Amino acid sequence: MRQLGILGGMSWESTASYYRLLNQGVREHLGGLHSARLQLHSVDFAEVAELQRRGDWPAAGALLAEAAQGLERAGAGALLLATNTMHKVAASIEAAVQIPLLHIGDAVGQTLHQQGTQRAALLGTRFTVQQDFYRQRLAERFDIEVMIPAPEQVEEIDRVIFAELCQGVFQASARDFYLECLAELREQGAEVAILGCTEIGLLLEGVQAPLPLLDSSEVHVAMGLEWLLAS
């Protein structure tokens, strides 16, 4: 088995899901006592969130690039960045290491393309939803039209992510609001909903949603498993 590096802690709630799902996947494929060969660098999310708030993306990129170099030195042969938003600085990470970064946007885009999806709703932080680094990748590489909530809805989705989900708080009121946003996007023509924040899947787990849900963290883990187990 290869050795995979995880850049995590953004938040640790979703990173814990990555760790669990990767190990479950390896056990399902190999059986017995097998578990995933992983290196994990977990950052202090408060520091990263402050850089996001200030718009200091170069500093955020440098922080994660340094962490990626440490994982490479420790023996990782590829990287998973266990967050959607921080893929904004993917290029800084890729430039700092010699090993591949398995991009979450590609995991999402490949899955949507295979499903024949043309129009997808996107829920995530205001950075992921309103900036073009994520939407543009899906459009240019996979011909996916990305639909986003109304501006006031984006602000509330973002507030819930940072004030609640990233702190392990999952409330019915937040769940209902997210589902209302998806219902509106379905009426506008969305075929699938991308859960473009790795904590949203935890909030909506097991619910009956207005649209089929594509959990970005699950397809990202599947991409990591494919790399881990490749011969």
Given this model, what pLDDT does residue 153 score?
Answer: 97
| Other beta carbons less than 10 A from residue 1's beta carbon | 14
> Apex CA 21: angle with CA 171 and CA 78, to 5°?
120
Q: Cβ-count burial of 68 within 10 angstroms (0-12 exposed, 13-18 middle, 19+ buried)?
A: buried
What sign for the dihedral angle of Cα 65, 123, 138, 115? positive
Give every residue of the chain whose pLDDT is below 50, as ranges. Answer: none
Q: What is the CATH number of domain 105-216?
A: 3.40.50.1860
Paired with 215 in beta bridges are: 195
What is the spatial distance between Cα 25 and Cα 226, in angstroms, rounded to a whole number?
A: 10
Cβ pair 226, 2 in contact under 8 A: no
Given this model, what pLDDT does residue 198 score?
Answer: 84
pTM: 0.94
**Cβ-Cβ contacts under 8 Å for 10 (sequence gap 6 or more):** 43, 45, 48, 82, 83, 85, 86
Paired with 192 in beta bridges are: 120
What is the spatial distance between Cα 120 and Cα 144, in angstroms, rounded to a whole number?
A: 7
Which value, in Å, is the radius of gyration of the alpha carbons in the chain?
Answer: 17
> Apex CA 133: angle with CA 153 and CA 199, to 5°?
50
Q: What is the CATH number of domain 4-102?
A: 3.40.50.1860
The H-or-E segment that residue 213 falls in is strand 213-215
**Cβ-Cβ contacts under 8 Å for 28 (sequence gap 6 or more):** none
**What is the DSSP code (8-state) at residue 74?**
T
Q: How far is CA 226 from CA 39, 75, 104, 116, in A?
A: 17, 18, 14, 22
What is the spatial distance between Cα 36 and Cα 58, in angstroms, rounded to a whole number?
A: 32
The H-or-E segment that residue 175 falls in is helix 172-187
Confirm whether 4-102 and 105-216 share one CATH topology: yes
Which residues have a catalytic role annotated?
Answer: 83, 197
Given this model, what pLDDT does residue 191 score?
Answer: 98
Nearest of 30, 221, 197 to residue 127 by alpha carbon: 197
187 three-state secondary structure: helix
The residue whose two tokens read 């989705």 is 157
For the chain, give every domain's residue range. 4-102, 105-216
Given this model, what pLDDT does residue 23 score?
Answer: 98
